Amino acid sequence: MRFAHSHLRHLNFRLLGKGRAETFILTATADGMCEPIGCFVLVSDGKTRKFYDNIALTPAYADHWREAIQAVLAHFGPGDYEWGWEWSLEPSRQADLEALPGVQILDAQAIVVHAVDFSQWPTWNDYWRAISENSRRNAQKAERANDGLKIVVRTGLSAIRSAGPLTRLRSAMYSRKGLGFRSLRTFLGYVAGVLLCPEQAMTASAEAGGRVLAAYHGVEFGQNTYYLDGAAAEGAEGGSWFLLLTMVRRAYERAPKGRFLMGYIGSALTREVPEGLIRSRRSLRVSEWPTCLIKFRWNPAAPSAHSSVAKTPSLAATQAFSVRSDAA
């Protein structure tokens, strides 16, 4: 999702004056032949280089991560780097980084990503029977309590129509919880996201009697569906559960072996996740993917007790294109 050109154009718009995201290609040279074997995105603000997600390697080179990261560090030179993403399903790279010569870990924050792994259930009916009875009952309650209940899904530019209802519902929800919420900033963020990256714009709402009971904001990309945020109206009588289970089914039908990502816990960068939210995720039978957000410093001249990793075949990082020009 983060490597898509449209997403990176949106990112660079948000980074104006603060940094720049660029895409790079990794090449491998063996027996005099050079071939592209992966890509990665770096976001630089002049002080720190952040890996925007991971290094995507082709299957033939999937086991060469250490050689790849060494080639990248050698290309860009000493400095401070960041690795990891709160929604990544990739295992922690802390031990791999600690084993590299010249690497000093500055900070490591372990997090756990929650996602429904559809591959665990052969059919939708098997999954439906596996989830908690309360979640099914709440969704059915919404159907009984709201005549004409329907789900409205909007993708692409049409999703901009959901910016207002999404903002209002989230603002009311935060108010009920006594939390601050920046309505205008959130609304403008939704609008900009749709206009700059319509390929990843996707919203849905549960509506009945001219009223929006619940709203959903997500991204569908590859085998994964990301549930980014949402909210329900007060007294919605199970509308949020009806909407959520409908979106889970949509994700299953789109990718029966895919994952429905619901969020993460454990990061010091976010407030503590309420226990009720954890229970609702577990009621949908989420699996846990432990990962890590890492800040590290690389200095090849620094002494290290770790042995170096052999570079065979040799890898090199070369800039392929600037995202701003949308080269492909």
Low-confidence ranges of the chain (pLDDT < 50): 304-312, 319-328
Our count of domains for the chain comes to 2
Whether residue 118 is found in the same domain as residue 33 = no
Pairing of strands 224-232, 259-265: parallel
Q: What is the rounded CA–CA span in Å between residue 216 and residue 155?
A: 12
Whether residue 47 is found in the same domain as residue 136 = no
In a domain, 102, yes or no: no
Supply the pTM of this predicted model: 0.88
Dihedral through CA 54, CA 59, CA 63, CA 69, nearest 10?
Answer: -30
Assign 260 to helix, strand or coil.
strand
Phi, psi (5° rounding) for residue 277?
A: -70, -40
CA separation (Å) from 321 to 21, 42, 134, 277, 326?
11, 12, 50, 41, 8
What is the reported pLDDT for 321? Answer: 33
In a domain, 151, yes or no: yes
What is the reported pLDDT for 31? Answer: 77
In a domain, 98, yes or no: no
Whether residue 129 is found in the same domain as residue 256 = yes
On whether the CB atoms of residues 13 and 29 are closer than 8 A, the answer is: no
Q: Which tens digits make up the pLDDT trace of 17-49?
A: 899 999 999 988 877 788 888 899 999 988 999
What is the reported pLDDT for 220? Answer: 96
Peptide bond into 290 cis (omega under 30): no
In a domain, 87, yes or no: no
Residues 6+ apart with CB under 8 A from 114: 261, 262, 263, 264, 265, 281, 286, 287, 288, 289
Q: What is the rounded CA–CA span in Å between residue 38 and residue 17?
A: 29
What is the reported pLDDT for 118? Answer: 98
Pairing of strands 202-208, 211-221: antiparallel
Q: What is the rounded CA–CA span in Å between residue 90 and residue 290?
A: 8
Whether residue 184 is found in the same domain as residue 244 = yes
What is the reported pLDDT for 276? Answer: 78
Q: Which of 12, 318, 315 is nearest to 192 (CA)?
A: 12
What is the reported pLDDT for 306? Answer: 40
CATH at residue 281: 3.40.630.30
Q: Which tens digits make up the pLDDT trace of 138-155?
A: 999 999 989 999 999 999
In a domain, 46, yes or no: yes
Q: Is the dihedral of CA 7, 8, 11, 12 positive or negative?
A: negative
In a domain, 246, yes or no: yes
Whether residue 172 is found in the same domain as residue 34 = no
Whether residue 253 is found in the same domain as residue 194 = yes
What is the reported pLDDT for 35? Answer: 86
On whether the CB atoms of residues 262 and 116 are closer than 8 A, the answer is: yes
Q: Which residues sit opposite 316 in a β-bridge?
A: 27
Q: What is the rounded CA–CA span in Å between residue 65 and residue 96?
A: 9
In a domain, 10, yes or no: yes
Q: What is the rounded CA–CA span in Å between residue 310 and residue 205?
A: 53
Query: In which domain, by residue range, is 317 found?
Result: 5-77+300-325
What is the reported pLDDT for 302? Answer: 66
Whether residue 183 is found in the same domain as residue 65 = no
